[in-house]
């Protein structure tokens, strides 16, 4: 790897960040060690001037390779495969690589914004309001850059925290999330993995978004025969040797509890939106 050169990696990350979890998973699969700097995004540490210098969007993860700064999880994983192609998580076949890119593109364009909305709708807004108080929450919302997760994330997050499921566009994000779960279920028909029946970055990229729902007590979205292929896939993912260390162990116990209990309280509303019998 790297023609014998010593490579050092520092990952700025957070336990519940789906994007940070994707990078942790990819690096574990590739066998790459890293040092971590934990950024508490629910306490607003991502808005500190020192962090904004390396990530103006005020999001995690950010990877520092030696002296090179690489933000954005999808770009980070592609970068890592370029510098360590011998352990690439991208297929070498051009057609298969294109299919993988369709999934990672969908994550970046649709699923990640939907996940941000769903997470704040069902859990994070309660955590932020409880931990920071009204004035602290106002400062937290005001600190979000104008251009962050999406070009409208600042205003949309503000609306979600204030109005919950009544926020304009909130229900559409829930439905969009569910449509991608259904799309995964179709793609997994008769296969173990999303692309050409081979574990790849497509599976790595989608894992955090299914796991987020599992952590929010929303397995009912695929269990009970609703999405049987996705159910089978996620069982295999949870059995992966790097799953627990990359996705579960980094989430603080208190946040794990918040996600589980807040999600459980929100589940009836989500189920009603999607017309799932509970």
pLDDT, residue 153, reads 82
Residue 189 φ/ψ, nearest 5 degrees: -60, 120
Tell me the percentage of the chain whose pLDDT exceeds 90.
83
The answer to whether 221 and 227 have CB atoms below 8 angstroms apart is yes
Model confidence pLDDT, tens digit, residues 204-216: 999 999 999 999 9
> Domains in the chain, ordered, with CATH?
2-87 (3.40.30.10), 94-273 (1.20.1050.10)
Buried b (16+ CB within 10 A) or exposed e, 35-51: eeeebebbebbbbeeeb
The number of angstroms, rounded, from the C-alpha of 108 to the middle of its chain's C-alpha atoms is 10
Model confidence pLDDT, tens digit, residues 140-176: 888 887 776 677 888 998 999 889 999 999 999 999 9
Range with the poorest average pLDDT among 3-12, 81-90, 95-104, 142-151:
142-151
pLDDT, residue 4, reads 53
Band (2; pLDDT cuts 50, 70, 90) = very low
Higher pLDDT, 146 or 105: 105
pLDDT higher than threshold 60 for residue 254:
yes
């Amino acid at each position: 790897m790297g023609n014998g050169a010593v490579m050092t990696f520092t990952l700025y990350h957070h336990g519940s960040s789906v994007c940070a979890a994707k990078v942790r998973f990819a690096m574990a699969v590739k066998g790459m060690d890293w040092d971590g700097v934990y950024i508490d995004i629910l306490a607003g540490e991502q808005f500190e001037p020192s962090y904004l210098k390396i990530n103006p969007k005020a999001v995690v993860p950010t990877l520092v390779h030696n002296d090179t700064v690489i933000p954005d999880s999808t770009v980070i994983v592609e970068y890592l495969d370029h510098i360590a192609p011998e352990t690439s998580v991208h297929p070498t076949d051009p057609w298969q690589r294109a299919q993988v890119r369709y999934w990672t593109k969908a994550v970046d364009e649709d699923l990640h914004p939907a996940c941000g909305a769903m997470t704040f709708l069902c859990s994070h807004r309660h955590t932020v309001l409880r931990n920071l108080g009204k004035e602290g929450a106002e400062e937290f919302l005001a600190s979000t850059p104008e251009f962050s997760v999406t070009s409208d994330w600042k205003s949309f997050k503000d609306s979600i925290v204030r109005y919950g499921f009544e926020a304009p566009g909130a229900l559409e994000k829930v439905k969009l999330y569910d449509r991608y779960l259904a799309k995964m279920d179709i793609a997994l028909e008769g296969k173990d993995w999303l692309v050409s029946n081979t574990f790849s970055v497509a599976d790595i990229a989608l894992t955090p978004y299914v796991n987020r729902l599992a952590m929010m007590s929303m397995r009912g979205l695929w269990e009970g025969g609703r999405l049987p292929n996705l159910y089978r896939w996620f069982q295999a993912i949870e059995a992966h040797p790097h799953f627990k260390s990359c996705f579960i162990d980094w989430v603080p116990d208190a946040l794990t509890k918040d996600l589980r209990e807040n999600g459980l309280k929100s589940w009836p509303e989500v189920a009603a939106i999607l017309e799932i019998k509970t």
